[in-house]
Amino acid sequence: MSGADNVVWLGTPAFPEAARTALADRRLRANLRRATGTIRDKRLAATAELDDWEELRETAAALKRRTLRHLDQHLLRLEETVTAAGGTVHWASNAAEANAIVTRLVQATGESEVVKVKSMATQEIGLNEALAEAGVRAYETDLAELIVQLGGDRPSHILVPAIHRSRSEIREIFQRQMGKWGRPAPEGLTDDPRDLAEAARLHLREKFLRAKVAVSGANFAVADTGTVMVVESEGNGRMCLTLPQTLITVMGIEKVLPSFADLDVFLQLLPRSSTGERMNPYTSLWTGVTDGDGPQDFHLVLLDNGRTATLTDEVGRQALSCILCSACLNVCPVYERTGGHAYGSVYPGPIGAVLTPQLVGVENAASLPFASTLCGACYDACPVKIDIPEVLVHLRAKAVEAKRRDRLLPTSEALAMKAAGAVLSSPRLLAALERLAASGARLVARDGRIGVLPGPFARWSGTRDTPAPAREPLRAWWRRTRGEGRTTTEGTGR
């Protein structure tokens, strides 16, 4: 599949350049530091309350692994049970197909607007833009998504899409934009969180009461019962899922769980990992349609969009276990400094760095697997134990391989590695180079460090402190202090 078939809005510029711009934005960094620090502390407190937290993580990881192994069977079972409960299931192999299905379903109702529950899957396929092209206006109803939509912005966090915005920026966006989308912001709006939430509530209320069609994502779907679930914090999701006549849910195929009892594990892990709460405030579950209660027309769109291809990779497939809690973002030192936009993907942070390249092809997002220090904090925090550093290293190898395939000439990195290999396999050559480096260091080093190295090494040394080589190489020191003629390997050719 090419990157163009599935949207995931892949970034230009690539991560290194985008990160450099983000790093220069002091206000962004301050907003991120404050927000991620708060969520991080809450998560630690909430997870420490459970004695069996590690067992829960193990159970969830095993459950996800097993489910992914038999994904085809669980999906067919889900189709059966949703259909039996009065819903309709649609299969979409990519973003274009999913968008066409949803657009057709909305147009069939005769409506020209829909309300939306926060949904990563619909962002992934660029649904709002596709609906707009067809003359349908989509209103985001999650508070943070509303801020992003009104600000003509992009989400920068899975759970808190407007994490990069301060309260005063939000007030300014509400004052400037709300009137263009419906009910304007109240006069004299302050940046007090309660005032901002009330302004959003009033603005959205008229949309909820008018809407005939809603579009949602799903956190989980249960194959055995056909039940679909959305968890959220504000109640906006509950309004979307119950008031309109037609409900269209777009769900990645990896969200399916075999049985209702499996929810027991994930409903303990998800709120504690995402918002640091024991329970999420609103958990909505529905099974098909119920006469006279809630939407009378329910459609479930099962989205592949690169997931089947990801499933074929034995190392990479663990990324599909993700429950999108965002814990890995909040502990990531890279994310905390660059924010989500630098990843150029709907899925930012560590999970974005392993999921996006697999969904769109590693050659289309080759810089993302390198957007990490490999410190492992994401793995420690992940409630389903996705070994993100392992997948990152695996994808780095694939990115290098893809680059090598595309180039007629070897890269400077490959040449440097080749030269290093030649030097390190010849003790005589190594000794000569050590002597040369030691005398060079005497000339250029200041305070034990070298500023910027010349030529192709300038990019590497420009962002690091390069320690000066020792004035006396190790082996010379060994000979001098131990009085031996040579080290064990010198001159042996080994």
Please tell me whether residue 351 binds ligand SF4 under the rule CB under 6 A. Answer: yes
In angstroms, give the least distance from the CB of 269 to ligand SF4. 8
Please tell me whether residue 322 binds ligand SF4 under the rule CB under 6 A. Answer: yes
Task: State the Cα–Cα distance between residues 70 and 232, nearest whole angstrom.
Answer: 28
Candidate residues 46, 239, 300, 323; the one interacting with ligand SF4 per rule CB under 6 A:
323
Candidate residues 10, 148, 324, 365; the one interacting with ligand SF4 per rule CB under 6 A:
324
Please tell me whether residue 223 binds ligand SF4 under the rule CB under 6 A. Answer: no
Q: Which region, left, alpha or beta, applies to residue 155 given φ > 0 means left and ψ of -120 to 50 means alpha?
A: beta
In angstroms, give the least distance from the CB of 362 to ligand SF4. 18
Task: State the Cα–Cα distance between residues 487 and 447, nearest whole angstrom.
Answer: 30
Tokens of 160: 């808190």
In angstroms, give the least distance from the CB of 402 to ligand SF4. 23
Site for ligand SF4 in 99-118 (CB under 6 A): none
Instruction: Give the C-alpha distances (Å, rounded to integers) separating 318 from 94, 243, 323, 373.
Output: 20, 37, 11, 20
Tokens of 79: 């189709």
380 to 409: interface string for ligand SF4, x by CB under 6 A: -xxxx-x-----------------------
Q: Edge-to-edge, what's the strand order for the sheet holding 213-216?
A: 88-92, 297-303, 246-252, 213-216, 113-116, 137-140
In angstroms, give the least distance from the CB of 74 to ligand SF4. 19
In angstroms, give the least distance from the CB of 177 to ligand SF4. 30
39 vs 240 by CB, closer to ligand SF4: 39
- At 458, give phi and psi (nearest 5°): -60, -40
Please tell me whether residue 325 binds ligand SF4 under the rule CB under 6 A. Answer: yes
Please tell me whether residue 359 binds ligand SF4 under the rule CB under 6 A. Answer: no
189 vs 377 by CB, closer to ligand SF4: 377
Q: Which stretch binds ligand SF4 (CB under 6 A): 167-175, 193-201, 227-235, 320-328?
A: 320-328
Task: State the Cα–Cα distance between residues 155 and 126, nearest whole angstrom.
Answer: 12
266 vs 286 by CB, closer to ligand SF4: 266
> Which residues pair with residue 247 across a beta bridge?
214, 298
In angstroms, give the least distance from the CB of 329 to ligand SF4. 7
Exposure on the CB side of residue 57, measured as CA atoms within 13 A:
17
Per rule CB under 6 A, count of chain residues that contact ligand SF4: 14
What string of DSSP letters covers 309-353? HHHT-TTGGGGGG-----HHHHH-HHHHHH-SGGGTSSS-HHHHH
> Which residues pair with residue 299 across a beta bridge?
88, 248
324 vs 368 by CB, closer to ligand SF4: 324
What string of DSSP letters covers 64-119? HHHHHHTHHHHHHHHHHHHHHTT-EEEEESSHHHHHHHHHHHHHHHT-SEEEE---
Tokens of 271: 């709120």
Please tell me whether residue 60 binds ligand SF4 under the rule CB under 6 A. Answer: no
In angstroms, give the least distance from the CB of 325 to ligand SF4. 4
Please tell me whether residue 121 binds ligand SF4 under the rule CB under 6 A. Answer: no
Site for ligand SF4 in 268-297 (CB under 6 A): 273
Please tell me whether residue 332 binds ligand SF4 under the rule CB under 6 A. Answer: no
Please tell me whether residue 326 binds ligand SF4 under the rule CB under 6 A. Answer: yes
Q: Which stretch binds ligand SF4 (CB under 6 A): 45-53, 149-157, 316-324, 419-427?
A: 316-324
In angstroms, give the least distance from the CB of 44 to ligand SF4. 14
Three-class DSSP category at 229? strand
For the chain, state the CA radius of gyration: 27
In angstroms, give the least distance from the CB of 386 to ligand SF4. 5
Task: State the Cα–Cα distance between residues 379 and 373, nearest whole angstrom.
Answer: 13
Burial of 107 (0-12, 13-18, 19+ CB in 10 A): middle
Which residues of this chain interact with ligand SF4, rule CB under 6 A? 273, 322-328, 351, 381-384, 386
